[in-house]
Chain A
């Protein structure tokens, strides 16, 4: 017997318009949704708005959830699609975003993300933000969130082979962006 997805009942309550269902979904998945938005958009204020939008989308689509995937995977998919749409819009209208929003100063970053203390992590996020969008999504899901290839394929609705090739290209690009100083900075392992 397959275990019941604990988020499923919360999603059903959410679909029926019960605030406690949405609150439970946020409690279970809010941090990861915010983290995905944060790493994909690399702009804390934008990540907050995106998280809010993602949960409103979850609410809108809740009654249409067919249970073909886990609720978590479904929420990841909504998050990734929303962030990729935002990145697409940002690319088409770059003047609407301030430079400082994309790469916040350490003090600003500390104010919006108090748990982030490392300048190194900040540099890595900047490098991730410079990856191509399709590769960035796969890279974040794998290297930051630690999802399996199968989970990434389900989330992004891609073939596993496409996930692997995109990840390989994104890793290679990341190494290039990090430059020769990457190993000295401790960004990469010795065996890389």
Chain B
């Protein structure tokens, strides 16, 4: 932004002449030509940075999901063990109940038989 000086040293005409200076034709091209090696180096650096960033991103993605997957699998295995234990326990319990019933039935049978023998002896 330029401001109009309320008390300029030079007249407007003189100032116009002073500012009527343009770079010689071809200077822009000369600047571009001289900058080419530096531009190419910058592009290569940026490409390397972009690749490094992309690689870091992929690595981060893989690490994150790998860790998550491992965590889930560990958690799942833990849950599996628990259900297996519960199942086994349930099976054991069921077996125990069966054994107990068998014992009970056996006892009842024995008691009935003993009672019948006692009744027969009495008759």
Contact = CB atoms under 8 A, between A and B. Distances in A.
Interface of A: 15-19, 22-23, 26-27, 30-31, 34-35, 38-39, 48, 51-52, 55-56, 59-60, 63, 112-118, 120-121, 124-125, 142-148, 151, 171, 174, 186-189, 191-192
Nearest to A20: B32
Contacts of A120: 14, 17
Given A17-B40, A147-B2, 14 more contacts: A17-B43, A19-B39, A34-B22, A35-B21, A39-B18, A51-B27, A56-B38, A63-B42, A124-B10, A143-B15, A144-B19, A146-B3, A147-B3, A151-B2
Interface string B43-75: 111100000000000000000000000000000
Contact of B23 (A15, A31, A39): A31
Contacts of A16: 42-43, 46
Chain A at the B interface: mostly helix, strand, loop or mixed?
helix
Contacts of B21: 31, 34-35, 38-39, 113, 115-116
A15 B23 CA distance: 24
